[in-house]
Structure formats: structure tokens, C-alpha cells
Amino acid sequence: MTLLSLSSISPLPPPSTSSSSLQLHSRISFSPSIIGASSSSSTSQAIQYTPSNPKVVATRERGKNAKLIDALAAHGINCLELPLIQHTQGPDLDSLASVLSETTFDWIVITSPEAGSVFLEAWKEAGTPSVRIGVVGAGTASIFENLMQSSNQSLDVAFAPSKATGKVLASELPKDGNKRCTVLYPASVKASHEIEEGLSSRGFQVVRLNTYTTVPVDHVDQIILEKALSAPVVAVASPSAVRAWINLISEPDSWSNSVACIGETTASAAKRLGLKNVYFPMQPGLDGWVGSILEALRAHDSF
């Protein structure tokens, strides 16, 4: 793989930076229409019961399930919120702001909403330098919506692939002729090397920074877990969430309900780990995810 040395790229004059430190934030919120489970043993448990048993388990990290829960509520579907993962700082996070302030890249490649959120914090700390961004799909692009609607023109979301996967992004990212084309790829520690290898094979020079990682939540309430195990569908948005769910099931072979995945990458991980009833949309995103959940519910005669 061809990796790009930062010293080989023309530095930019260092802009003024914010004195505030870069952090990953998590917030706890509860919706009156769901059953909630705490992700930490040090946090008091809060359980709010729906009129009927939940049909779907929403497993994204705390505070990021609201859109899915609201979309399913529009179909009359009750959800249980059971965060399975949480994000923590990656080893290269502290370098991201300085790299952005000192170095110019032809592309910044962002492949998940969390990668986008972490990038934006560092980009602001770096003084909002001009950047051109390629995103993997609509869900990731939505992280930048507020900035794109403002008068700030220094951040340009300029590319999304024809199919929202890392492999297709790496094969389709525009390259300007034969000139050297540089890419910054802020990623999860657990992300595969598919993107940088695909880009490098096309002649791009890639700098990957592992800015965050995902880990299982510290604690899952057993009463909530029992309700989750009986729900017809578990909705997952990452391979990490699939692995966390498998680790919670004492006998995976005896659990025969369905997993609805946000996209093909997560679905492939679910199948590799032995889950049988796996549903996913051809195009990742909220609308397709909801469609796959509805399909799984119909298969269970639960919708």
C-alpha cells in the first residue's frame, strides 16, 4: 500500500486555532415512546413502558436512535432502545487538527456519521481550512448539512459514490489526470483497509488517521436484554454492533429472530458471525433501513 508522508505535502500557513480541546461527546436522552436502557452501570436505570411489547430493538449508541425510532413510530411500531456500542478516542485523534491546519489534501474521505462528527470538531479547531470531502453515502453526508446550508464555503461535500460502500467509493473517487492526488482518511480503528488499498491501487497517496473506535457498552440491564431477545427484529448499524449483540446472546444458535442492517457491510458481518435471518437495503440509509425492518417484521407476521 502506498502511504503518504505528511512531510512530503506542501504545508499551509498555520491558522489560528481554538484553545478548546477536542473531545468525543455522548449524551443521554430518553423518549417517552420507547423503553430505554442505560449503557453504564453507574447510571441509574430508567424504564418507560410502551402500550404493547416492542417490535424492534434500536442499538445505536445513546442519543443516536431518535431518527429510526421516530420513523418506525410513523408506522405504528414500538421500539426498545438498547445501545450496544459507544465511541471512544482513537490513537490519532490528537493529530487530526494539526494535520488539517498544516497540510492540504485533494480529498478528505469520510465513511460514517461518527467519522464526520469527529472530523468536524477537529476541522473547527484547525480554523476551518478549505477542504473537499467525499462521503460514502447520504447518511454520512447529513452530518455536514447545517454547514452546507450556511454561508461558509470552505467545506465542500463534492462526491458520493454510485453505491454507498467503501469499495465503490475507492473505485470511483475522482482523480485529476496523472498528477499526484492526496487523500486524508480519518477512520475508525476497526475499519478495514479496503478504502486506502483501493485508492492506493489507483495511484492516490493516502494518509489514514485512526481518530475513534467503537467498544461495547459497559453494562446492559438484564431485564432490558430479556425484552430485546424476545423482540422480532434487532436493528444494527455497524459490524461492531453485530459483534456486541452476538456476545450478549448466551446461545446464538437458538436465537432465531431477525437482524435488520443499515447496509451491506453490516449485513455481511452478521452473516459471517452466523446470524441467519439478515435483512438489509441495497442502498444504505435511514429510508432503506426502515424498509428492511418492515420486511423483517412482515416475515415474522409482526406488521
Tens digits of residue pLDDT in 66-97: 999 999 999 999 999 999 999 999 999 999 99
User: Tell me, what's the pLDDT at 44?
Assistant: 33
Length of the chain: 303
Cβ–Cβ < 8 Å for 300, 233: yes
List, in order, residues 6 or more apart from 179 with CB less than 8 Å away. Answer: none
Among 64-68, 120-124, 144-148, the minimum mean pLDDT is found in 144-148
User: Tell me, what's the pLDDT at 84?
Assistant: 96
Residue percentage of the chain with pLDDT more than 90: 65
Helices 113-125 and 93-102, interaxial angle, to 10°?
60
Mean of the pLDDT values across residues 273-300? 93
Among 45-49, 77-81, 138-142, the minimum mean pLDDT is found in 45-49
Residue 179 has pLDDT above 90, yes or no: no
* Among 65, 48, 49, 46, residue whose Cα is nearest residue 57: 65
Among 37-46, 151-160, 248-257, the minimum mean pLDDT is found in 37-46
User: Tell me, what's the pLDDT at 139?
Assistant: 83
Mean of the pLDDT values across residues 208-235? 94
List, in order, residues 6 or more apart from 99 with CB less than 8 Å away. Answer: 6, 184, 207, 209
Per-residue pLDDT band at 205 (split at 50, 70, 90): very high
Per-residue pLDDT band at 4 (split at 50, 70, 90): very low
Tens digits of residue pLDDT in 5-29: 443 444 433 333 333 322 222 222 3
User: Tell me, what's the pLDDT at 12?
Assistant: 38
Residue percentage of the chain with pLDDT more than 70: 81
Per-residue pLDDT band at 152 (split at 50, 70, 90): low
